[in-house]
Structure 1
Amino acid sequence: MKLKTNVTKLVGKVIVPGDKSISHRSIMLGAMAYGTTVVNNFLLAEDCLETVILFKTLGADIEVDSETATVTINGGGLQSLTQPNEDLYVGNSGTTMRLGLGVLSGVPFMTRFKGDESLSKRPMERVMAPLREMMAITFSEKGGDTPPIIMLGTSRLRGRTHKMTVASAQVKSAILLAGLSATGETVVEELEQTRNHTEQMIQQFGGELTVSDKTIRLIGPQVLTGTTVVVPGDISSAAYFIAAGVLVKDSEITLPNIGLNPTRTGILNVLESMGAQYKIKNKTEGSEPRGTIKVCSSDLKATTIEGNIIPTLIDELPIIALLATQADGKTIIKDAAELKVKETNRIDLTAEELNKMGAKVTPTEDGLIIEGPTPLKAAKVSSHGDHRLGMMLSVAALLVKDGDVELENVDSIRVSYPSFIEDLTNLVESK
């Protein structure tokens, strides 16, 4: 697909779809709960719909209204789920597989998880190992670390203390979801605080847990009750419009109803350190705060991104790398080895694709070194099947002055934001 290039101005408002992480978890917890759960502003993208399909395959009563982005789950509790007559295929959704393994560790039947070619290369032992410690039986069918994954759950799950070896919200969440049906105390000790939507939502569904610094404690088994979930706009998706507004001269973009959970707003801290101009208005408080972000074009300076901020912006690092190509000086990103096990090896591929466009990006073992500012040029680039890379390259194309940028595998963007290209183009057309 040929992307929009040679753009002089971006102006307008974008209604960013619902948060991907919260949308996934609302289905899982709604299916585990008793009673009716209504999810408003659900993300109707491929990854989240894979979670809907998975739980419908397990017998959950779920209705999706595509017109209003509303999902209704009539929950009968975890034990109402039934053994499927088919494999649980989850497409490209690592969240669906990893968190789904946690949920199904507490039901006494066998399931087989499969994914697409990309997901079939992603590590799952990090989730399976702690679930085995809790007495579930789970293993890779290939005898290694990757799908297909067999899960034989049990009604005798036992709580355990888990010291995390990676800073991963997915691993933490799988353990906590298992802990809801386990007997005794489940404890998760994090390396760094990761996004805390699972903890927040367990409490929203009537569950009980305690959080002290980086330690989460939950005593099971617990009974959840259906509730109403209002999903805020996804800040990870909003980050790509924020970057576009900062990078394209004379631009001004408004993004209403964006989730501002402190475990997700590292991108805003990085923008401040780089000198970007933005404002937050109409902020609401609560477990999942939200607000309107208004951003305009800015001159950027290089920065260093490392340490405990990394888990709060792990999905935004590709777009931060693009920002760095236009910043004055050398930007260093480190402590981000988790990027290597996302939908792709985002460290190497972010460098590879931006360098095709004339950037100066050097991959390291745990991050990137980016020299700027550098003009970007026309090139043929690829998302490699990774939605975040595809979104980043679509924004990068806006900065190319001459020639065409052709993006291969553009359909990967549908995983999290089906209308992204259209929404980005509308900002150009409204100039």
Structure 2
Amino acid sequence: MAHHADEAARPRRFSAASALRGAIRVPGDKSISHRALMLSALCVGESRISGLLEGEDVLATAAAMRAMGATIKRGDDGVWTVHGVGVGGLMQPEQALDMGNSGTSTRLLMGLVASHPITAMFTGDASLSRRPMARVTDPLGEMGAEFGASPGGTLPLMVRGLQPAVPITYRLPVASAQVKSAILLAALNTPGTTTVIEPIPTRDHSERMLAGFGAPLTVETDPDGVRHISITGPCDLRAQDIIVPGDPSSAAFFIVAALIVPGSDLVIENVGMNVTRSGIVTVLEQMGGQIERLNERTVGGEPVADLRVRASALKGIAVDPAIVPSMVDEFPVFFIAAAMAQGTTVTSGLDELRVKESDRLATMARGLEAIGVVVEEREDGLVITGSGGAMLPGGGPVATLLDHRIAMSFAVAGLVSTSGVEVDDTRPIATSFPDFLALLDQVRGAGL
């Protein structure tokens, strides 16, 4: 995986851009790519996946599924074929599963292993090894899996699965699609009905895709809006052909860039518009951003559109905490939009950002201060006083703490800075968006 200590950091200064123009495609959705590989590997027969995100995180999932018996190949045409082992057919991996920087791979794969009679060792890079795993090991432990974790409940972590596992009903104490998904994946090979109760809706890619693969899944919403998601196992999955929509989290960097760089008019094609993920678009529109949805369609059960984004005068807002789960990964770049808006933007309910690849609230606050933005850090959010459209002073180097989204966010900030913004290391960007720097250069070139 990347980020080996012996590799030199790759700093880069991002300087002011004239209008961003043209049409681009962002990589495939990371959440859907992980799930497509995992579920295909649990089918009997051949699945084909087009548009898979080929970043390091997703490749870690592919390597883990291979290690547990699936045959996974990438064709010269970019289409991936997966021959699965069937639910219940996962094999004992011979080596530790290296998750790199991928929290999604780790938590979801722990769910898969939990209901198979195998033992797997999960390792990861320094950043991933600081992230909390108890939120997943607690419910999976109730199902009968055993865990040997490092002190503090982190990686490296050993999972010993149980077959047959025990079905549970589990109410999510924290809004987490990863915890929900881990339990549902464990349920596939567990006799009886397992139910996840979700008080606050989170991204629903797992439910959509499980249903698409033929899992016996039901979703009921009670009068209070609480979702009860159930799977009755053990069950068989049917091989599928999957087209992965463009990742809205990756699109967000270019949406914000086109909104804040004067004169921009940019089309971002094939963006996933799942309502549990598109909060960033809603909030930017509330600020006055011009984002037009073109060619709206449904692909593989997921809504997709092309987005035309034009430079806009943004106004500060108070972001409704209820929308946080649908844009939790987009706050770093949203803070850049807020820095360019007129007036003050207030965010709250962002405690979850403190346990991402870095403490994203603290890291963003320090970086914003370093480039001349007026920001106040609170326990659960940031308060940002915008420039009213005036260029940001710039500066740096900004410490990204090996966090891909923070690196890309400050690259966007550099486009509207007087002296440029220096990012201390661009290597982590490859975890989610390998083509980011090339695409940025392309749309800047089109605007010259």
- Normalised by the length of structure 1, the TM-score is 0.97
- Partner residue in 2 for 1:93: 102
Q: Is the 8 A contact 1:43 1:69 kept in 2?
A: no
1:166 matched to 2:193: no
TM-superposition CA deviations, 1:237-266 (whole Å, max 9, x none) = 000000000000000110111101111110
Alpha-carbon distance in structure 1 between the residues aligned to 2:347 and 2:219: 29
Alpha-carbon distance in structure 2 between the residues aligned to 1:390 and 1:82: 38
- Partner residue in 1 for 2:436: 420
- Partner residue in 2 for 1:6: 16
SS of equivalent residue, structure 1 residue 249: coil
Alpha-carbon distance in structure 2 between the residues aligned to 1:275 and 1:422: 29
Q: Residue type of the partner of 1:417?
A: F
Alpha-carbon distance in structure 1 between the residues aligned to 2:176 and 2:39: 19
1:224 matched to 2:237: yes
- Partner residue in 2 for 1:240: 253
TM-superposition CA deviations, 1:304-359 (whole Å, max 9, x none) = 11332110000101111111111111111111111111111101101111110001
- Tell me the CA shift for residue 218 of structure 1: 1.4
- Partner residue in 1 for 2:271: 258
- Partner residue in 2 for 1:177: 185
Alpha-carbon distance in structure 2 between the residues aligned to 1:211 and 1:107: 25
Uncovered stretches (5+) of structure 2, i.e. residues with no partner: 1-10, 222-226
Alpha-carbon distance in structure 1 between the residues aligned to 2:109 and 2:366: 33
SS of equivalent residue, structure 1 residue 232: coil
- Tell me the CA shift for residue 82 of structure 1: 1.4
Superposed, 1:307-318 pairs within 5 Å as 307-318=321-332
1:397 matched to 2:410: no
1:64 matched to 2:74: yes
- Tell me the CA shift for residue 157 of structure 1: 0.7
The one of 283, 289, 309 equivalent to 1:270 is 283
1:306 matched to 2:320: yes
Q: Is the 8 A contact 1:238 1:258 kept in 2?
A: yes
Alpha-carbon distance in structure 1 between the residues aligned to 2:418 and 2:152: 47
Q: Is the 8 A contact 2:88 2:189 kept in 1?
A: no
- Partner residue in 2 for 1:27: 37
- Partner residue in 2 for 1:371: 385
Q: Is the 8 A contact 1:52 1:62 kept in 2?
A: yes
Which sits farther off after the overlay, 76-85 or 7-16? 76-85
TM-superposition CA deviations, 1:126-178 (whole Å, max 9, x none) = 000000111111231x2322111110001111111111111110011001001
Alpha-carbon distance in structure 2 between the residues aligned to 1:369 and 1:405: 21
- Tell me the CA shift for residue 422 of structure 1: 1.0
- Partner residue in 1 for 2:6: none
Q: Residue type of the partner of 2:206?
A: T
| Regions of 4+ moved over 4 Å | none
TM-superposition CA deviations, 1:193-217 (whole Å, max 9, x none) = 0000000000111112111232211
Q: Residue type of the partner of 2:37?
A: I
- Tell me the CA shift for residue 285 of structure 1: 3.2
Alpha-carbon distance in structure 2 between the residues aligned to 1:158 and 1:183: 7
1:289 matched to 2:303: yes
The one of 126, 132, 150 equivalent to 1:123 is 132
Which sits farther off after the overlay, 330-339 or 118-127? 330-339
- Tell me the CA shift for residue 405 of structure 1: 2.6
- Tell me the CA shift for residue 14 of structure 1: 1.2
Q: Is the 8 A contact 1:4 1:425 kept in 2?
A: no
Superposed, 1:188-207 pairs within 5 Å as 188-207=196-215
Q: Residue type of the partner of 2:82?
A: I
Q: Is the 8 A contact 1:44 1:69 kept in 2?
A: no
- Tell me the CA shift for residue 107 of structure 1: 1.0
- Tell me the CA shift for residue 398 of structure 1: 0.5
Q: Is the 8 A contact 2:267 2:306 kept in 1?
A: yes
- Tell me the CA shift for residue 389 of structure 1: 0.4
Alpha-carbon distance in structure 2 between the residues aligned to 1:181 and 1:304: 44
- Partner residue in 1 for 2:370: 356
Q: Is the 8 A contact 1:104 1:153 kept in 2?
A: yes
Q: Is the 8 A contact 2:99 2:123 kept in 1?
A: yes
Uncovered stretches (5+) of structure 1, i.e. residues with no partner: none
Alpha-carbon distance in structure 2 between the residues aligned to 1:160 and 1:306: 33
Alpha-carbon distance in structure 2 between the residues aligned to 1:7 and 1:43: 28
